[in-house]
Structure 1
Amino acid sequence: MNEDLLQAYSCILQEYLVGEGMHLQWAIFINVVVNCIIVLVCVYILDIIFRKFIVEAFKAFSNKTKTTFDDYLVKSNFPRFVAHILPLGILWHLVPIIFIESPFMTNFLLVATKVLSVVLFVYIFRSILRSTRNFLEENERFKDKPMESYVQVMMIFAWGIGVFLIIQLLTGFSIASLTTLGAASAVILLIFKDTILGFVASIQVSVNDIVRIGDWITFSKFGADGYVTEINLATVRVQNFDNTFTTIPTYSLIADSFQNWRGMQESKGRRIKRSIFIKQSSIKFLAVEDVEKLKEIQLIKPYLEHRQRDVDKFNRTHEADKGLLINGRNQTNLGVFRHYADAFLNENSAINKDLFLMVRHLAPTEKGIPLEIFCFSYDKRWENYEHIQADIFDHLLAAIPYFGLEIFELPTGKDLQALA
């Protein structure tokens, strides 16, 4: 639009209103209002046209390219924001021409245009950051990294700069002075204390590889036990196994202790560590006939034959009086059962023999002697792991009576009633 035509139109309208008997000040005011409405309507129409054209052109371009980055730009409204730049530029150019006789309105609209431009560029920067985050999350290298934290930090800095620029535009005060920067820094540290702590923590979490998205963690302090679904600047989101969600402050990951099960998931097996409590009064020495009877159990027959030969040889050498069973060397039913449990685990195809495997006694307790099973299952999936563990202890608990042993149990009501 020609500058002379705009000025001529404004003068004609003002002269017409004065010619109709209107006071000059009122004529100027109405002239400004009419011009303002015309400018806003024209800019709005141009904005709609440019927005539709640029958005459709960008969609067509993104559909033809192989990369997905431009698709994410479309989803984050990047073309829509870019389309607003041209109407704002036109408004910036027209305001000093149309409102040449109203310096106040000129300054007001120019400042408003500058403020809108600052906000617009912040939104454009945000859409680029979000598109970059979504694009990088497709890559396996960045899929488990807390990209959201870095986006949030950069957006805080972007909005901080934007707010400072807007304050400078509205007040005219420079933000470059040391006093202003010092005061602003103090305010930022006070308001964004948790955000700064979260930012530092998210960097340490990422650099030290403490937690990844998808890790199974147990954080008793916050009642979290499940998989990490999101790591952002302020919080870590955990989906518990009951399908509830727990949010944990990000800085708590480096300030407090928690359990990360990733090491187990990446290892060659998942540990089984559980004890069976044996009633102490059921433990006894095995006579020769007891040993012969236990040889019927195929799994420990070779062990019993080899062990009994060593026992008999020792007793003959030392002329042990076997009229009393305690004399010399003897096998015990608990010791034989311990070897049976060890052999059973070594025969179990679900147990990883390359990892540590042991059956041992623990110190006697008021509940009996704990016989601890320590081994690792090949399958680390929770449901299958529990099935394997249950099958092992089902078998061992059912096998105990064959060795003349008893499981310790606290007396129930029926037990007390039988005694009475």
Structure 2
Amino acid sequence: MIQETENIETTSEAIDFKHLIYDRLVELDISKSTAEYLNMLGLLLVLVIAVFIIDFIIRKLLVKSFNKFATISKTNFDDFMVANKVPRNIAHIIPLLIAMEFTPSIFADFPNFDGVIEKGLRVFAIVLTLWIVRSLLNTVKDYLKTLPRLKDKPIDSYIQVFMIFAWVAGFMSALAIITETPFLSFLTAMGAASAVIILVFKDTILGFVASIQVSINDMVRIGDWITFEKYGADGDVIEINLATVKVQNFDKTITTIPTYALISDSFKNWRGMMDADGRRIKRALFIKQDCVKYLNENEVNKLKNIQLITTYLETRNEDIDSYNNSNNINKDLLINGRNLTNIGIFRKYIDAYLNRHSGVNKDMMIMVRQLAPTTQGIPMEIYAFSSDKRWANYEYIMSDIFDHLIAALPYFDLEIFELPSSSSFKEKTVVSE
């Protein structure tokens, strides 16, 4: 009996709240229909104002508390939470619950409106949940990027994957609410449209798979220098997303590459060079073939004045003379027996010069080799590694080496092959005249 009395009192209080303004308006001889509309609008206005005030107060208190806690905390995770507006988004939960609690009472006389508003609040609750999830994921992303072992990993790709799943789930939940269909039934119906979904999100799916493979195989890291000729990219990787990889070229332009292109196409990653002790120098001088010759004794003695090869020439010359004398070689013709050539001595000079050069890494391979003759002469290739890997310094070292070698060629009676220009023909014409 007591329980029934309490229920009646509770019902009467609820009725009084629902018609808080309505009863007063009826007492003023206003029609019931008008009173119902005015009652609904008045209560709605009160609720909106109350919700905004409560939201403002809770947001200020929560944000202030988080800021205060972040200043005294040793970790920077809470700083990222404040920066990504996690407290601000969480503060909307209580006002939303208040709105959902009192909305049925406000629209008690308008069940059609009540259904629409209730659906709208539930959809907003889903959107608010997505906001909070996004803020938390961005916080986690920013925090993980500060960790040294994860700094060069494609964290953005994984966060985007989670957000895509969250937005898809939220979108489907919202549609299930609007259509008043159970979520599992709606999910089953969406399975029939999976082919269309896969087609629409093809690039996203490919990018997701590519991001996993890139990360597992450690193919590309943020900060790597890559060269991707197909897309005109030559620079540093500054961002790896689910769908794209951003490369800042050395001219400061930005090239965007599809993530899945990293596993479907060929590109060059210079990380191995950056991690090594030197940067490779691989360049050739093309020497005219008709200037290659055997050297007589006077020419060899003249080259002994070049200090880098003095000891080599003395030792080598003694070995050759000993061989020729022991085998009774007729040296009236230089082709007989063993002889020194100007190109061979120049090759030895280059080797000695590289081993003395301060910009060349002596702990890595140093090789001077003669390649097969071409229509442009005989390639004399240098294969070595600079001790400084920085681009500007590397180019300076390489230029310094070849400046010296080009200037040294005439001392060995050698010439670099060069295609004739129009001025060359003019000079010949003048001479013949």
1:248-267 mapped onto 2 (5 Å cutoff): 248-267=257-276
Q: CA-to-partner distance for each residue in 1:20-66, whole Å, 9 max, x for gaps?
A: 44432232122212221221111111111111111111111111111
**Distance change (3 Å), C-alpha of 1:238 and 1:4:** farther
Aligned counterpart, 1:383: 392
1:7-406 mapped onto 2 (5 Å cutoff): 7-11=15-19, 13-177=21-185, 179-406=188-415
- Structure 1: how far apart are the matches of 2:357 and 2:168? 63
- Structure 1: how far apart are the matches of 2:144 and 2:12? 52
Give me the identity figure in percent: 52
Q: CA-to-partner distance for each residue in 1:160-217, whole Å, 9 max, x for gaps?
A: 1111111111111123136414135334212211011000001100000000000000
Aligned residues of 1:3 and 1:97 also touching (Cα < 8 A): no
Aligned residues of 2:18 and 2:108 also touching (Cα < 8 A): no
Deviates more, 1:158-167 or 1:104-113: 104-113
* Cα root mean square deviation, aligned: 1.6
Aligned residues of 2:17 and 2:105 also touching (Cα < 8 A): no
Q: CA-to-partner distance for each residue in 1:300-345, whole Å, 9 max, x for gaps?
A: 0111111111111111122111112221111000000000000101
Q: CA-to-partner distance for each residue in 1:98-141, whole Å, 9 max, x for gaps?
A: 33333233323222221111111111011110000100100111
Work out the number of aligned pairs and report it. 419
Aligned residues of 1:216 and 1:260 also touching (Cα < 8 A): yes
- Structure 2: how far apart are the matches of 1:86 and 1:18? 34
| 1:138 maps to amino acid | T
Deviation at 1:231, TM superposition (A): 0.2
- Structure 1: how far apart are the matches of 2:123 and 2:20? 32
Deviation at 1:10, TM superposition (A): 4.3
Aligned residues of 2:20 and 2:39 also touching (Cα < 8 A): no
Q: CA-to-partner distance for each residue in 1:388-407, whole Å, 9 max, x for gaps?
A: 00111011111110111111
Aligned residues of 2:77 and 2:143 also touching (Cα < 8 A): yes
- Structure 2: how far apart are the matches of 1:53 and 1:107? 33
Deviation at 1:297, TM superposition (A): 0.7
SS state at 1:254 partner: helix
| 2:354 maps to amino acid | L
Aligned residues of 2:154 and 2:240 also touching (Cα < 8 A): yes
**Distance change (3 Å), C-alpha of 1:226 and 1:4:** farther
- Structure 1: how far apart are the matches of 2:358 and 2:416? 26
| 2:21 maps to amino acid | L
SS state at 1:242 partner: coil
SS state at 1:141 partner: helix
> What TM-score results when the alignment is normalised by the length of structure 1?
0.96
- Structure 1: how far apart are the matches of 2:331 and 2:316? 17
SS state at 1:331 partner: coil
**Distance change (3 Å), C-alpha of 1:212 and 1:301:** same
Q: CA-to-partner distance for each residue in 1:199-256, whole Å, 9 max, x for gaps?
A: 0001100000000000000000000000000000010000000000000000000000
Aligned residues of 1:175 and 1:181 also touching (Cα < 8 A): no
**Distance change (3 Å), C-alpha of 1:150 and 1:3:** farther
SS state at 2:293 partner: coil
- Structure 2: how far apart are the matches of 1:386 and 1:297? 27
Unaligned runs of 5+ in 2: 1-9
